[in-house]
Structure 1
Amino acid sequence: MSISAADVKTLREMTGVGMMDCKKALTETNGDIEAAVDWLRSKGLAKAAKKADRVAAEGLVGIASEGNRAAIVEINSETDFVARNEQFQSIVANAAKLALGVNGDVAALAAAAYPGTGRTVSEELTEAIAKIGENMTLRRSSVLEVSQGVVGTYVHSAIAEGLGRIGILVGLESSGDKGVLVTLGKQIAMHIAATNPLSLSSEDLDPAAVERERSVFVEQAKASGKPDNIIEKMVEGRIRKYYEEVTLLAQVFVIDGENTVAQAVANAEKDAGAPIKVTGFVRYALGEGIEKQEADFAAEVAAAASSQ
């Protein structure tokens, strides 16, 4: 029978389930909306939808490499307990591999065929939500590639190969020795995990962010009562220091504590036998930017007691 768009919309609003699943439910139940709700519940889909408003700020960051390119994904769950679930780990690992084929496009990744199931990545997550009992979201994905050289990778707080709480990709463009490049790439990735730079260089910084810092420095310098020409020099000195703190190439390399990252790269060129250019980096820290819900257990206990 023909299923109307209005009925699909109604069922979607009632259950929070995706449109294609709603249409399938209505088809299976001859357009009976109440029966369709039960059909979705029987498949675990409506149950999954009920969890969709829960904050998912835990989970895993996953990395996959292939040749001179690498992908990184973040899939969130409600608790860190799920990160130790083998089914969830498998989904993150497979999603990272699939991200290589869609250049990190999240929408395309969600719609990509999940291996061995006949489902999409999004549908596989829905199945996992129903089985594991927590909300899960495919949050973001990126791919980094160099024409020649390596994309260095590092996973911090790893719980399995390529899976952890912080993931880093860093591109090294070079025709030099691959072994040297792989070692340097991992070291720089570890540095990025530790220092969280805002950009590759001062040229890549958000101009608005620089101006905000400059405004603060100007006000601080004015408070010193120094002449305007001295204030200008003070501000420029503080801006240079700011660049050294927040841009990757100007930061002191944590591996040796002496050279800047730019100097460390230049030093590595001798062993690599060719120039090396850092082309960019990606740093994912699990749950960053997500407003987490803090449970008030005392209030929960009090509410439970009052309901008895």
Structure 2
Amino acid sequence: MADITAAMVKDLREKSGAGMMDCKKALGEANGDMDAAMDWLRTKGLAAAAKKSSRTAAEGLVGVEVQGTRGAAVEVNSETDFVAKNDQFQAFVRDVTSVALELGDDIATIKGAPLGGKTVEEVLTNNIATIGENQTLRRAKRLQVSQGAVVPYVHNAQAPGLGKIGVLVALESEAATDKLEALGKQLAMHIAAAFPLALNEEDLDPAIIERERAIAQEKAAESGKPADIVAKMVEGNVAKYKKENALVSQLFVMDGKTKISDVVAAAGKEAGAPIKLVDYVRFQLGEGIEKEESDFAAEVAAASGVKQPA
């Protein structure tokens, strides 16, 4: 059986909101596997669905840039937040975002692109040497519309176009640009806050849906209700999950009652031309990356043979 540490219990408590003893038990049942422990808590009704953002750990910056009807977002990671404030690092993120805007999403293509007499990868290698900290170009995404607007938004920007959450919203329409930009800004702020997992329900990852169905099945089975009622409960929970995680069916955070699809439709009527929300990008720094954290007090206690309380 895996050794369940105080740090593991603390981490699960922060992610799940469940009590200390429940988290200890969940980790024991899951043999120390954090995701399995989270699922165990959810089957017992002790935790809500975890957003991927709860696992954010890496440092660095997300960059966004828009030119005309296209925009790009990139994520460049560093080991510490201190480096993210470095002028050389920030300039590199801006340059790489511009490269992605021209060349697209493929990381290998971006790394091989020319930048200041070198390739992007060579500049990155030089930055690692001169700044003295490991850095990685993790991901990039470009959006483009034939007519309309791609609208950028950076939440809590550290510098123009740079921050820890970057969003792009692609709107296809003949409506005036100022109308599209106003709508796009509102939608981008919603996306930053609500963290949709896909544009439409049918775009949600099937593996995630099956995982939700399995959790709902186990939870509903414990109710003791007849099989036909259990089946309806399961499908009801899955349908609710899809609505809450697909952007177009989410409730607008500005009023808490209007579906995003209806917000877009209403904006089109007001602008005098239909507006189609065709795509979006939401990059949150370190999303899905686990980074080992040092607990100095725990390390001292372990070295001295003192058991840390959870």
Q: TM-score range by the shorter chain?
A: 0.7 to 0.9
Deviation at 1:259, TM superposition (A): 0.4
d(CA) in 2 for partners of 1:227, 1:258: 34
Amino acid at match of 1:225: G
| 1:273-298 Cα shifts (integer Å, max 9, x gaps) | 11111111111111112221312445
Question: Offset of 1:93 from its aligned partner?
Answer: 0.6
Q: Which residue of 1 aligns with 2:128?
A: 129
Q: Provide the TM-score with structure 2 as the length reference.
A: 0.75
Amino acid at match of 1:133: G
1:177-227 per-residue CA deviation (whole Å, 9 max, x = no partner) reads 211111111111111111111111111112222122122222322322223
Unpaired segments ≥5 residues, structure 2: 1-56, 302-310
* RCO comparison, higher one (Cα < 8 Å, 6+): 2
Name the residue aligned to 1:279: 278
2:92 corresponds to? 91
Which runs of no fewer than 5 residues in structure 1 stay unpaired? 1-55, 303-308
SS in 1 for 2:64: strand
2:205 is aligned with 1:206: yes
- Displacement after TM superposition at 1:300 (Å): 7.6
Superposition RMSD in Å: 2.1
For residues 240 and 291 of structure 1, the distance between their equivalents in structure 2, rounded to whole angstroms, comes to 30
Over the matched positions of the two proteins, sequence identity in percent amounts to: 57
Q: Which residue number corresponds to residue 69 of structure 1?
A: 70
Q: Return the offset for 1:301.
A: 7.9
CA gap 1:222/1:301 in 2 versus in 1, 3 angstroms: closer
Who is 2:101 aligned against? 100
* Residue in structure 2 matched with residue 261 of structure 1 by the alignment: 260
Greater CA deviation, 251-260 or 217-226? 217-226
Distance in 1 separating the partners of 2:286 and 2:120: 20
1: CA distance between counterparts of 2:173 and 2:158?
Answer: 31
Residue by residue over 1:31-52, the C-alpha shift from the partner in whole angstroms, topping out at 9 and shown as x without a partner, is: xxxxxxxxxxxxxxxxxxxxxx
Which runs of structure 2 are paired with 1:54-65 in the superposition (5 Å)? 57-65=58-66
Partner in structure 2 of residue 241 of structure 1? 240
Between Structure 1 and Structure 2, how many residues are aligned? 247
CA distance in 2, matches of 1:164, 1:234: 41
Give the Cα separation in 1 of the matches to 2:111 and 2:83: 20
Partner SS, residue 226 of structure 1: coil
Query: Which region of structure 1 is more displaced relative to structure 2, 73-82 or 239-248?
Result: 239-248
1:1-308 correspondence runs (5 A): 57-114=58-115, 117-297=116-296
Residue in 2 that maps onto 1:3? none
Alignment-mate amino acid for residue 84 of structure 2: A
Equivalent in the alignment of 1:30? none
Q: CA deviation at 1:111?
A: 1.1
Residue by residue over 1:34-74, the C-alpha shift from the partner in whole angstroms, topping out at 9 and shown as x without a partner, is xxxxxxxxxxxxxxxxxxxxxx9211000111111101111
Secondary structure at the counterpart of residue 229 of structure 1: helix
How far residue 239 of structure 1 moved from its aligned partner, in angstroms, is: 2.1
Query: Could you tell me which residue of structure 1 aligns to residue 37 of structure 2?
Result: none
- Give the secondary-structure state (helix, strand or coil) at the position aligned to 2:288: coil
Contact 2:76 2:136 in 1 (8 A): yes
> Which AA in structure 1 matches 2:284?
A
Mapped to 2, the partners of 1:216 and 1:186 lie a distance apart of 36
Cα distance between partner residues in 2 of 1:261 and 1:62: 25
